[in-house]
Structure 1
Amino acid sequence: MKKTNNGTLNILFVSEYFYPRLAGAEVWSWELCTFLAKKGHRVTVITSRIGDHPAQEQSNGITILRPVRSGTGRARRTIAAAWLARYVANYLNHHQPDIVHVVAYALNVAVSKAAAKKGIPCVTAVHSYFGENWKKIADPISARLLSTLEQSSIVQDKSIIMHCPSQYTQRLIHSDTTKSVKVIHNWIPDVETLGKKVQDKELRKLLQGSYLFVGSLEPVKRPLECIAICKKAKVPLVIIGTGTLEESIRDAAARQDVRVIMLGNLPRQQTISCIATAKLVLVPSVTESFSLVAVEAIAQQVPVAGNPVGIISELPGVVSLGVKKIPKISASQAHEVRERFDKETIISQILELYKDVKTNKMVNKPTKR
């Protein structure tokens, strides 16, 4: 495959997981690649295969290559990542994309090194970085190990530039490494769906008088804190999401006599409608790389109570957890957030990043620690 020379780019996108798996990073990757393909750029994705998805397909103008099966277990993921790294290196022996864009962490070191060896500019997307926060969610030995592995993935990366979704994440990376990382925010997907409240009368009435938690029910998200907050405020708690803490949440709710309604995982549109209808959205996470939930809440004039992690500290209308007075979000504040996190605007920034690294305008210079 030859390089393009008519203003369009030939982009190789590499990620451990991709469409149709629809977790946060996968949604971001899918929307980015779809947008780029619609703009006329040639986009090829190399990723792993889960379930019965084909080894190769064309979807939304994207060529998707899934050369190896993977899963969610650590051993299977490690083996799959090693095979994918070899596949990418071999692919680059026979193809010459303008840009390689890889998602950290499973593949970024191997892929960025393979691209550098061929003289192909590489960009790495760092969607999360826990840094010192590992100490808050893991035992000391595990925290040290996980932190070391995370740092190593950043330090050994040979891409020309990395990007992350918030200044908060950038600060965490800079506190541990001297790598230069550019902030490019995530965007609001499906902005046209915002503001549509729940139609079911009973659920709408419930949400209007309740606090809402949206996310995985895992220690890093701290959903158990929501129960004490709701008890103090004397309001029910509605939860969208699943995870290992489900039983603990039910037990804590029973002990503290707090009404908790667990809706499980909902389709995206239903989740957005629930956010639009809620009295207050809670984000008690230990850390967040971005927090799309908080952005979508403010964009729909729904206030947020949360820790100052991810993008949260940069948003209007956010209060600390446990604050009694709930702020009102004005229409102008909501509009400002929608404009700031507009998909086309932000993906245009990624395109500019591609063009800068392609023309050698950007070099990954160390930062001062």
Structure 2
Amino acid sequence: MPRLTYNIAMVSDFFFPQPGGVESHIYQLATKLVDRGHKVVVITHAYADRKGIRYLTNGIKVYHVPFAIIYRSATFPTVFSFFPVFRNIMIREQIDIVHGHASLSSLCHEALLHGRTMGLRTVFTDHSLFGFADAASILTNKLLKFILSDVDHVICVSHTSKENTVLRAALDPVMVSVIPNAVVSENFRPRKYPPEPPAPNNGFGNATPAVHHLGPNDPVVIVVISRLFYNKGTDLLTASIPRILENHPNTRFIIAGSGPKSIDLEQMIEQNVLQDKVEMLGSVRHEQVRDVMIRGHIYLHPSLTEAFGTVLVEAASCGLYVVCTAVGGIPEVLPGHMTVFAKPEEDDLVVATGKAISALRANKVRTEKFHDQVKAMYSWDNIAKRTERVYKGIMGDIPEADFYGYDVGNTAAWNGESHSGVRSFALIDRLKRYYGCGVWAGKLFCLCAVIDYLLFVFCEWVFPRDHIDIAADWPRKIYHSDDDD
């Protein structure tokens, strides 16, 4: 009889309290899976005083493992030293499925390798886009090919992301599903839901609510909320702001976020004497994002690469007109009447922002309707149902023909071997998959897999399973099957 619920471990270096799209995705997905009766634990690294085990209010248990951070919250790759801790958690929590997130997360990749060695089903969600030519991309892509060659299923957040991941990791497209991000629309309501007092005067005047028509003398407020890194287009933003303000003097900027490029923005403000027109808020918590957004009329997103862009959905839900670069999966996110697209170039971004300002002043855009439209398009309940269907597919609880759309057992498999959608755990089969990853890399990957297996056998002998206490489960919500399967 098919199982109705599973014990799931979400693993990533990126999780709260750090703000970001991956962090929010993991939390919201885990919350909805718990609502559907599943057990979810999150494994991430320690953040400042957050070490050991923490419980979130909705019953999700978070393991903060003590590993060193090397760059942008990613831990130093240890390959094997994480295994004993990981194995202990998997046994304590009786995990069935390991779900890793983010290509740059060392914990994620190590967990997927160790999970397969332990005989657990594995899923990977890719949230980013990468190139193929620079040294960093080549290294990352080779690592991704190693890990994903033995993963049961891959999820991408957009069709562009799927194409990118399939090419980078040499995957069979049938093993990759597209499940986008979503937004909790009730947490991103325009100012009219419900009526609120005006925003405080911070040197910019009271921001006109986004759902009201602009008067001829009302300032247009442009909001930017982003990590201030190169790939997020901060250099493009720094070059464009003076020109936008020169062309449209009755315009103000509110910039929230932190990163190494913040110093460039601050220097630009000083050099152009724009302190009265550009407000820098620094890092803001996720629950404060809506409060910042409703102070504006336009959301500007100058990113150079983006697999999805959850913040665009949040901005539209708040009733902001979106100006963004047409890169990666961004064109898939919102319909055309909510966005003005620009090339990732300074001149085009300035022109696109000018078009948005003119459209708002001419009352050509009905931003008051955006919230309800976004609410109908994006729902975490729907994302959880689709992710749950992936879990059922890899666990063999739904027929392969229903899960993949046809009988994958009769199709050509990765590396030329015939396969079913449910991966074999046999070490010899795993080594065959790893061996096909490259002339030299394939042999190295096989060596890693053998060492990982020997370490597993050693841990089973030195730390027997029956000596590990099983953790008590948080009371589960009653699961009601529905017709969406």
TM-score bin, normalised by smaller chain: 0.7 to 0.9
Partner residue, 2:423: none
Contact 1:198 1:274 in 2 (8 A): no
Contact 2:256 2:281 in 1 (8 A): yes
Task: Report the more deviating stretch, 192-201 or 43-52.
Answer: 192-201
Partner residue, 1:281: 299
Partner residue, 1:161: 153
- Of the three residues 305, 308, 312, the one matched with 2:323 is 305
Structure 1 counterpart SS, 2:294: helix
Tell me if 1:318 matches 2:348: no
Give the RMSD, CA atoms, in angstroms.
3.1
Partner residue, 2:457: none
Counterpart-to-counterpart distance in 1, 2:108 and 2:79: 10
Amino acid at match of 1:98: D
Partner residue, 1:97: 95
Partner residue, 1:187: 182
Contact 2:317 2:372 in 1 (8 A): yes
Tell me if 1:354 matches 2:369: no
Partner residue, 1:200: 199
Amino acid at match of 2:386: Q
Partner residue, 2:460: none
Amino acid at match of 1:237: F
Partner residue, 1:219: 230
CA 1:246–1:76 in 2, change beyond 3 Å: closer, same or farther? closer
Partner residue, 2:134: 144
TM-score normalised by structure 1 residue count: 0.83
Deviation at 1:332, TM superposition (A): 4.5
Counterpart-to-counterpart distance in 2, 1:298 and 1:193: 9
Contact 2:97 2:123 in 1 (8 A): yes
CA 1:159–1:193 in 2, change beyond 3 Å: closer, same or farther? same
Tell me if 1:16 matches 2:46: no
Counterpart-to-counterpart distance in 2, 1:268 and 1:294: 14
- Structure 1 unmatched ranges of 5 or more: 133-142
Structure 1 counterpart SS, 2:134: helix
Partner residue, 2:127: 127
Number of aligned residues: 354
Larger Rg belongs to: 2
Amino acid at match of 1:232: N
User: C-alpha offsets along residues 44-88 of structure 1, whole Å, 9 cap, x if unaligned?
Assistant: 333222322241243332233334243355899215675334432
Partner residue, 2:377: 340
Counterpart-to-counterpart distance in 1, 2:288 and 2:153: 37
CA 1:305–1:73 in 2, change beyond 3 Å: closer, same or farther? closer
Deviation at 1:122, TM superposition (A): 0.7
Structure 1 counterpart SS, 2:25: helix
Tell me if 1:7 matches 2:4: yes
- Of the three residues 226, 242, 251, the one matched with 2:267 is 251
Task: Report the more deviating stretch, 197-206 or 349-358.
Answer: 197-206
Contact 2:187 2:290 in 1 (8 A): no
User: C-alpha offsets along residues 26-60 of structure 1, whole Å, 9 cap, x if unaligned?
Assistant: 22212222332233212233322232224124333
Task: Report the more deviating stretch, 61-70 or 82-91.
Answer: 82-91
- Structure 2 unmatched ranges of 5 or more: 209-219, 343-348, 360-364, 416-485
Contact 1:250 1:260 in 2 (8 A): no
Deviation at 1:126, TM superposition (A): 1.1
Deviation at 1:222, TM superposition (A): 2.0
Structure 2 counterpart SS, 1:309: coil
CA 1:74–1:200 in 2, change beyond 3 Å: closer, same or farther? closer
Contact 2:14 2:73 in 1 (8 A): no
Counterpart-to-counterpart distance in 2, 1:51 and 1:348: 34
Partner residue, 2:40: 43
Structure 2 counterpart SS, 1:153: helix
Contact 2:188 2:317 in 1 (8 A): no
Counterpart-to-counterpart distance in 2, 1:190 and 1:88: 35
Counterpart-to-counterpart distance in 1, 2:48 and 2:79: 17
Structure 1 counterpart SS, 2:198: coil
Structure 2 counterpart SS, 1:349: helix
Deviation at 1:184, TM superposition (A): 1.0
Counterpart-to-counterpart distance in 2, 1:8 and 1:67: 26
CA 1:10–1:75 in 2, change beyond 3 Å: closer, same or farther? closer
Structure 2 counterpart SS, 1:236: strand
CA 1:275–1:149 in 2, change beyond 3 Å: closer, same or farther? same
Counterpart-to-counterpart distance in 2, 1:171 and 1:231: 40
- Of the three residues 244, 254, 257, the one matched with 1:229 is 244
Structure 2 counterpart SS, 1:325: helix
Contact 2:97 2:120 in 1 (8 A): yes
CA 1:19–1:304 in 2, change beyond 3 Å: closer, same or farther? closer
Identity across aligned pairs (percent)? 23
